[in-house]
Amino acid sequence: MSPITLVKEKPASYTKHDQLFKQLIHTFFKEFLDAFFPEVHDNIDFQSIKPLSEEVHTDLIKGSTRRLDVVVETKLKGTDVVIIVHIEPQSSAQPHFHERMYQYFSLLYNKYRKPIIPIAVLTYDENWEENEYTMSFPFFHVLTFNFMTLHLRKQNWRAFIHSNNPAAAALLSKMGTPKRNGFK
């Protein structure tokens, strides 16, 4: 097996997209989870939210680092269990995005040694979506890594149009339209 290499940095054209999503999710973290990941929202303690450094070391020998989009520390509601929520907006389909999510998960776990909830927010038109990374051999299954996804183009905007949720309102324009996804 060859060593794992990180997917190249995103082109500068994605920087503005990523920064806007990052600001939106940081500002409306609770509302974002409430609108799109209610099972996560209902199980985390919003009184103990703490943004973490998004910088992780990708190559300790060379000193290379990578900035992840949103990394927040909190607790599971009603417990002292500290967890990390990692949210990674993705504006274009990439064949190896699922591997990159696993790499980010591994880097975060190595840095913080805490349970992690990985979430990808997909904003592109293509229907490609893979939310699982598997490493196996014909004789042995090593691992299967899964992450939660929100593919905004697959969301029916009509389900959110009357919502008072600011995160949902801000993302309406990225959601599917009747012609685009066959919604009625």
pLDDT at 137 (0 to 100): 96
Do β-strands 70-76 and 82-90 pair in parallel, antiparallel, or remain unpaired? Answer: antiparallel
Q: Read off the pLDDT of residues 115-140 as tens digits, 9 standing for 90 and up.
A: 999 999 988 877 767 899 999 999 99
Sign of CA dihedral 175, 66, 117, 136: positive
Residues 6+ apart with CB under 8 A from 102: 133, 145
Of the pLDDT bands very low, low, confident and very high (cuts 50, 70, 90), residue 164 is very high
Tell me the pLDDT tens digit for each residue of 1-15: 333 434 444 455 556
